[in-house]
């Protein structure tokens, strides 16, 4: 690939000139995701509007041996949408239509550039519910959600994005246009290729249409926030709620995380009078009157046995929203401190042991770092934001955080967990893939990529 070559004439022969950008600001904006320390260097940004245009772009890229990088809402945290070596970025921003709604199948077909929150509101207008939900709902794209198998806050009840993809249309790295599964509920005719594209991070081809299932809305929720003294108490509350109640979400954050949220948002208040090392956020579905009684019984039992030090239950929709912000606004509140982010997962039962061991290592070896922990305890997914000390140069901070990665990912391997729970591998975690996947698995993945992308033009350098 000759990155010094001016590809603008070729691209404007495929798309109108207004949909081919080469100005420095656009190259920077569309050339990376939320991993800001990566330095983008794409050759051009293109904005197709149809599957046919995507096919034409892929065939041009094959003929000219030019790499392509997919771009959606660019909310990823692994460098999966980064273009650092003269690639052409294919933005799906203009493929943003809701194409079809089937009231009998309770399904909707969308283009990949539809914003997650737009789909959620569309489902609500139809009296239904799209349950894949997370803090970046207002900017992430459905195509990116599918390409990373996005999870979020309701996974323990509704599963990952994979559970809701009924069918899709794709363009492979060979320029082949495929219809996968045709939104069938039952289809026992060999390998289901849509599941290769879900979570593939764009290394096999581009997703140009997606048919998603919708479901009925939940009953009105009630939200509890508990202050607790230790991780053992967190797990006792989880076990009791999961066993007895229709649990929608179960989240945890630390007192340090809460401190940064309250500092960032003056309109929010602490959920309890005193300060506690950990906070649990548990959302339940009030399907009948007995649910509330059971929840209060568990709360009282927790207080009596010392699991729960204090707690609050939402009384109004606004209070429920504000309590959720204590958890969902952590990333926003810590962003001014140049956080180094990781998302990992272990089996739910092993969360306390992992956190305690990792915290002990950080305190011993990196006492000058503030580590802000939070996570989806209900599915074993933990997030850590290490905040840059004010007097530490950024390049030194990055080097030190890479050393933390080495320690943490070796621990992940010991715990038989994942180095990336929901943000993908991308560029930032490809060196650590072996801590989660065996050499045999990686070789099979590479062989599959070779079949779908024989020239290696689709999002090269990501995952492997």
| 409-460 confidence digits (pLDDT tens) | 999 999 999 999 988 999 999 999 999 999 999 999 999 999 999 999 999 9
Structural domain ending residue among the three candidates 213, 240, 256? 213
By CB neighbour count within 10 A (0-12 exposed, 13-18 middle, 19+ buried), where does 137 fall? buried
Residue 448 inside a domain? The answer is no
- The tens digit of pLDDT for each residue in 358-412 reads 999 999 999 999 999 999 988 999 999 999 999 999 999 999 999 999 999 999 9
Of the three residues 192, 213, 234, the one that is the final residue of a domain is: 213
d(Cα 63, Cα 288) in Å, to the nearest integer?
62
SS (HEC) of 144-189:
HHHHCCCCCCCHHHHCCHHHHEEEEEEEECCCCEEEEHHHCCCCCC
Is the same domain home to 353 and 323? Answer: no
12 contacts 44 by C-beta, under 8 angstroms: no
- In-domain check, residue 456: no
Judgement on whether residues 270 and 368 belong to the same structural domain of the protein = no
Q: Is residue 446 part of a domain?
A: no
Average pLDDT of every residue of the chain:
95
**Predicted pLDDT at 255:** 97
CATH number at residue 23: 3.30.43.10
pLDDT band at residue 5 using 50, 70 and 90 as cut-offs: confident
Q: What is the pLDDT of residues 226-263, one digit of tens each?
A: 999 999 999 999 999 999 999 999 999 999 999 999 99
Q: Stretch 19-34: mean pLDDT, rounded?
A: 96
Instruction: Note whether residue 291 is domain-resident.
Output: yes
Instruction: Report d(CA 228, CA 175) in Å as an integer.
Output: 55
Residue 292 sits in the same domain as residue 199: no
pLDDT exceeds cutoff 90 at 19: yes
Which of 63, 94, 125 is where one domain is finished? 94
Q: Residue 322: inside a domain, yes or no?
A: yes
Helices 351-365/231-244 angle, 10° precision: 160
For the chain, the domain total comes to: 4
347 with 430, same domain: the answer is yes
Q: Is the pTM of this model over 0.85?
A: yes
Residue 254: C-alpha distances to residues 113, 258, 326 (Å): 35, 6, 11
DSSP characters for 88-132? EEEE-TT---EEEEETTTTEEEE-TT-BHHHHHHHHHHTT-B---
Tell me the DSSP string of 313-370. Answer: E--SHHHHHHHHHHHHTHHHHHGGG--EEEEEE--GGGHHHHHHHHHHHHHHH-TT-E
One domain, residues 107 and 141: yes
Whether residue 86 is predicted with pLDDT greater than 90 in this model: the reply is: yes
Would you say 44 and 157 are in contact if contact means Cβ atoms under 8 Å apart? no
Residue 346 lies in a domain: yes
Answer yes or no: do 43 and 137 share one domain. Answer: no
What is the per-residue pLDDT for 189?
Answer: 97
CATH number at residue 107: 3.30.465.10
Mean pLDDT of 275-291: 94
Same domain flag for 147 and 201: yes
pLDDT tens string 91-105 = 999 999 999 999 999
Q: How large is the average pLDDT for residues 5-13?
A: 93
pLDDT tens digits for range 116-163: 999 999 999 999 999 999 889 999 999 999 999 999 899 999 999 999
Same domain as 348, residue 304: no
Output the pLDDT for position 42: 97
What pLDDT sits at residue 340?
93
Token pair recorded at residue 177: 């246009």
pLDDT of residue 427: 95
With a cut of 70, say whether residue 3 has pLDDT above it. Answer: no
Establish if 419 belongs to a structural domain.
yes
Do 289 and 235 lie in one domain? The reply is: yes
Q: What does the block give as tokens for 430?
A: 């490809």
Cβ proximity of 385 and 263 under 8 Å: no
> What is the residue range of 409's domain?
338-439
With respect to residue 312, please indicate whether it lies within any of the assigned structural domains. yes
Same domain, 227 and 251: yes
44 and 119 fall within a common domain: no
Residue 1 pLDDT? 65
Q: Is the pLDDT of residue 4 over 80?
A: no
CATH number of the domain encompassing residue 304: 3.30.70.2190
Same domain? For 366 and 428 the reply is yes
What average pLDDT does this structure show over 19-38? 94
């Amino acid at each position: 690939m000759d990155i010094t070559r001016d590809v603008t004439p070729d691209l404007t022969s495929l798309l109108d000139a207004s949909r081919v950008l080469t100005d420095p600001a656009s190259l920077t904006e569309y050339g990376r995701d939320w991993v800001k320390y990566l330095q983008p260097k794409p050759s051009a940004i293109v904005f197709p509007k149809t599957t046919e245009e995507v096919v034409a772009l892929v065939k041009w890229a094959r003929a000219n041996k030019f790499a392509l990088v997919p771009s959606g809402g660019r909310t990823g945290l692994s460098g999966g949408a980064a273009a650092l070596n003269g690639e052409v970025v294919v933005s799906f921003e203009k493929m943003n239509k809701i194409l079809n709604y089937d009231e009998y199948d309770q399904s909707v077909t969308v283009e990949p550039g539809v914003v997650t929150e737009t789909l959620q509101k569309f489902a609500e207008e139809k009296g239904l519910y799209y349950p894949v939900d997370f803090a970046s709902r207002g900017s992430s794209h459905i195509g990116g959600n599918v390409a990373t198998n996005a999870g979020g806050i309701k996974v323990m009840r509704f599963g990952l994005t994979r559970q809701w993809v009924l069918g899709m249309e794709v363009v492979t790295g060979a320029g082949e246009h495929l219809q996968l599964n045709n939104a069938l509920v039952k289809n026992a005719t060999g390998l289901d290729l849509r599941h290769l594209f879900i979570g593939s991070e764009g290394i096999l081809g581009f997703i140009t249409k997606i048919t998603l299932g919708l479901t009925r809305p939940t009953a009105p929720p009630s939200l509890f926030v508990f202050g607790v003294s230790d991780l053992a108490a967190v797990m006792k509350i989880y076990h009791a709620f999961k066993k007895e109640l229709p649990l929608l979400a179960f989240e945890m954050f630390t007192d340090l995380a809460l401190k940064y949220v309250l500092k960032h948002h003056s309109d929010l208040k602490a959920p309890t009078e005193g300060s506690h090392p950990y906070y649990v956020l548990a959302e339940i579905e009030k399907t009948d009157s007995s649910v509330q009684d059971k929840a209060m019984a568990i709360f009282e039992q927790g207080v009596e046995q010392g699991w729960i030090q204090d707690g609050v239950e939402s009384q109004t929709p606004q209070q429920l929203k504000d309590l959720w912000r204590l958890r969902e606004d952590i990333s926003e509140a810590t962003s001014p401190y140049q956080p180094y982010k990781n998302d990992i997962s272990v089996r739910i039962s092993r969360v306390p042991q992992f956190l305690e061991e990792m915290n002990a290592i950080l305190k011993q070896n990196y006492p000058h770092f503030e580590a802000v922990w939070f996570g989806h305890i209900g599915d074993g997914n933990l997030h850590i934001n290490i905040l840059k000390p004010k007097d530490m140069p950024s390049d030194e901070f990055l080097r030190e955080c890479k050393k933390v990665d080495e320690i943490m990912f070796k621990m992940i391997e010991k715990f038989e967990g994942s180095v990336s729970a929901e943000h993908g591998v991308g560029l930032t975690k490809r060196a650590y893939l072996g801590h989660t996947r065996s050499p045999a698995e990686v070789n099979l993945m590479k062989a599959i990529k070779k079949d779908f992308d024989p020239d290696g033009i689709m999002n090269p350098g990501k995952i492997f």
